[in-house]
Structure 1
Amino acid sequence: MLVGMAVPATAAEGAGEARPPAAQAAPPIIGGYLVTDADAPWAASIYRNGAFTCSGTVIAATWVLTAAHCVGSGLTVRAGSVYRAQATTINVTDHQVAPKGDLALVHLASGHETTYSRLADTDPPVGSTNQICGWGRTGYNGPLSEQLKCADVRVTSVSGTCLDHRYGPAICTTKINGNAWSGDSGGPQRYNDQQVGVASTADGRSEQTYGSVPAGRSWIRSVAGV
């Protein structure tokens, strides 16, 4: 969940600077546009005890990147299709949470070969147009999306002035043609074909915060080797 957009693993929270947004519920994309398997071969969805919980990305054969508030007991992952119901279910052996920030890595029981999400080493520029993706709600009180959606957002601040749900370095954005909401938690923010963020909180109307991938890069390398 998004806090506002993604509070822990299934809800979302309102975004803000210098402190995490107020808690709400995890988001799916409101507005934006539908994408195909060719657009997002790295797409993954997170389930807890058989129920859809969050979005995520496949970053290596046996590793999925998502939000820390998304993980817990009874995890499985679906990957291989932007249509959640058509994706392959993969068992999970373990998960690890970043020492700082709303990031987590989920270890798959079997390898999933695809084009993996490339991870950025630096935050995107303030003012740049980024893309966010997820299976969250398609309206403030609307249903979850069965097909992956993405939307364009504008970066308003980055690590140092923007914090995620766990008070870690984050990237704050406002909507251009869509925004994150409940169910989008754990999903990616992308810039120049690289993943720069992981959905953490949102207000469900315009603003969202994504945990900074560059800030957690050394931890990700130490765990997943990528």
Structure 2
Amino acid sequence: MRLRSFALIAGTAFAALLGVTAPVASAEEPSSDVQPMIIGGQNASSGPWAARLFANGRQTCTSTIIAPQYILTAKHCVASSGTFTFRIGSLDQQSGGTMATGSTVTRHPSADLAIVRLTAPVNATYSPLGTTADVSVGQTVQVYGWGATSQCGSEINCQSRYLKVANVSVTSVSCRDYNGGIAVCARRGDGITAGGDSGGPMFASGRQVGVASTSDRQTTTAYTNITRYRPWIQQIAGV
């Protein structure tokens, strides 16, 4: 299945795209007008590992803190240069938690993954990373994000203030993300990802198994399968 980009979340030089499935649109081109956020679902009651990503002070994507000094997100969310900051450990993107600034960005060469090193360690609840045994076809899994809550014309204005969660059903563990990397694909359950959800986590069996890459904002979504890239993550972040 060919996937398309979710979202043009920020604007100008920091347009961040989430991706959409084949019938909908393609994911990370600066000229794309597609955008992602969780449509449907509900507000999350917990997400201490969640980190809202801001590019030059502008809300863009979702991410997770995986170690004291490392953030995991989608490569297309940090494709441009600039200042990346994160609000970590709060369900409310406008207050609470801990604010941190990125110092360096390491982008995966072939998958829609990136790791941002923070300028200083943050004491937080770190996202537990899964293995291939944690996710399988037919499984109901959870996706989280601050993305758009409807298919609005300007997704930057309709992204959620509070972290949302939705259930989706896995259809493949070896499909493709926006950059051609290995992905977990899923179909809509009680919600679907949209603009602003890019870079956010998919949890299966209580562990993070994916990073939001693409979505059609209607029925299908693709998350880079991080269980297949654990050696790369381990090499950079030590987890």
TM-score by shorter chain over 0.5: yes
From 44, 47, 63, give the equivalent of 1:40: 47
1:221 partner SS: helix
Is the Cα contact below 8 Å between 1:3 and 1:11 reproduced in 2?
Answer: no
1:208 aligns with 2:221: yes
Aligned-partner residue type, residue 155 of structure 1: V
Shift of 1:21: 6.1
Shift of 1:140: 0.9
Report Cα offsets for 1:88-138 as digits up to 9, x if no partner. 321111110112210100111121112110011216110000000000001
Shift of 1:75: 1.2
1:128 aligns with 2:139: yes
From 82, 94, 99, give the equivalent of 1:89: 99
TM-score, normalized by length of structure 1? Answer: 0.91
From 10, 17, 38, give the equivalent of 1:11: 17
The whole-number CA distance in structure 1 between the counterparts of 2:230 and 2:7 is: 21
| Aligned length in residues | 219
The whole-number CA distance in structure 2 between the counterparts of 1:202 and 1:220 is: 24
Structure 2 unaligned segments of length 5 or more: list them. 10-14, 28-32
The whole-number CA distance in structure 1 between the counterparts of 2:102 and 2:83 is: 8
Aligned-partner residue type, residue 138 of structure 1: T
Higher mean C-alpha deviation, range 102-111 or range 177-186: 102-111
Runs of 4 or more, structure 1, over 2 Å off, are 6-13, 20-26
Higher mean C-alpha deviation, range 215-224 or range 7-16: 7-16
Structure 1 unaligned segments of length 5 or more: list them. none
Aligned-partner residue type, residue 100 of structure 2: I
From 111, 114, 129, give the equivalent of 1:104: 114
The whole-number CA distance in structure 2 between the counterparts of 1:157 and 1:6 is: 22
Change in CA separation of 1:97 and 1:172 when aligned onto 2, cut-off 3 Å: same
The 5-angstrom pairing of residues 1-226 of structure 1 reads 4-6=5-7, 10-16=16-22, 22-23=26-27, 25-36=34-45, 39-71=46-78, 72=80, 73-87=82-96, 88-122=98-132, 124-141=135-152, 143-159=158-174, 162-226=175-239
Same amino acid, percent of matched pairs:
40
TM-score, normalized by length of structure 2? Answer: 0.86
Shift of 1:10: 2.3
Computed over aligned residues only, the root mean square deviation of the Cα atoms, in angstroms, reads 2.1
Shift of 1:15: 2.1
2:149 partner SS: coil
1:126 partner SS: coil
Report Cα offsets for 1:118-174 as digits up to 9, x if no partner. 011216110000000000001111610000000000001112xx1001100001100
Is the Cα contact below 8 Å between 2:169 and 2:186 reproduced in 1?
Answer: yes
Shift of 1:78: 1.4
Structure of higher RCO (CA pairs closer than 8 Å, 6+ residues apart): 1
The whole-number CA distance in structure 2 between the counterparts of 1:3 and 1:27 is: 11
Is the Cα contact below 8 Å between 1:7 and 1:165 reproduced in 2?
Answer: no
Aligned-partner residue type, residue 112 of structure 1: V
2:109 partner SS: coil
